[in-house]
Amino acid sequence: MSTPQTLDADPSITPPRLWDPVVRLTHWGIAVSVLFNAALDEGGSLTHVSLGWLVMALLLLRLVWGVLGPTEARFSAFPPNPLAALRHLRDLAGGHPRDYPSHNPAGALMVYAFWAMLALVTVTGLIMTSGATPMQVADDKAAVASGDWSALIKESEAEDDAGLRHLAEETHEVAANLLLFLAALHVAGVALESRAMRRSLLAPMLLGSRRK
């Protein structure tokens, strides 16, 4: 029975010259939203909550696309495989990395780690705001002005769920920081592998690769 790795060893198999529109939309939409919320926005603001909902929608779209999308976008094209990831990193260090029809094994692990952190950030954000929508936040001027999540929650609920919300807030901060760390690691990995393979791995996520 053939495995994804034996198929990937076939020199006739090449990575996408251009990722499909849904993959590119979700990739860049999530990247811009996360960086904006981390660097330029304060937690509790209308913009922060709105971007949180946008990230959740984009993540759900990408997960659905992992089942319904084209071959290279499906989960089956890049299953999480730590041993294969280690072999890929060994090949990369040795100067002879392979091409893959989708994400390489190390990149695949990064993708799943990203999705896990995004899901954790989203769920804890919903707990912190009691599921408040951007419209509800906009209506509550005190919450927007102070960045106080508790202003969005009824007093009786605040007393009952204070412990859960505190845990969610701590987890949210840790997960958000891990997300930024993964993003930095991802950028470094793309740059390193692009140099090793003598072609841009970024191009297929933008306007497409010119290789023939």
The full DSSP string for 125-163 is HHHHTTT--HHHHHH-HHHHHH--GGGGS-HHHHHHSHH
Confidence (pLDDT) at 63:
97
First to last CA, the chain: 31
Closest of 77, 81, 73 to residue 105, by C-alpha: 81
- Cβ–Cβ < 8 Å for 22, 8: no
Closest of 175, 168, 170, 163 to residue 131, by C-alpha: 168
Which residue is it, tokens 């100067």? Answer: 95
Question: Is the pLDDT score of 8 beyond 50?
Answer: no
81-93 confidence digits (pLDDT tens): 999 999 999 988 8
Domain ranges of the chain: 14-205
87-133 confidence digits (pLDDT tens): 999 988 887 888 888 999 999 999 999 999 999 999 998 888 877 77
Task: Give the H or E element holding residue 81.
Answer: none
Closest of 77, 65, 84, 68 to residue 15, by C-alpha: 77
Sequence-ordered alpha helix ranges (H) in 40-98: 46-68, 82-93
Closest of 86, 108, 82 to residue 97, by C-alpha: 86
82 exposure class (CB count in 10 Å sphere: 0-12, 13-18, 19+) = exposed
Which residue is it, tokens 């994804």? Answer: 4
Closest of 153, 156, 146, 116 to residue 131, by C-alpha: 153
Query: Which tokens hold the place of 55?
Result: 């990230």
Confidence (pLDDT) at 6:
37
Q: Report pTM.
A: 0.80
Confidence (pLDDT) at 91:
87
Average pLDDT over residues 180-186: 94
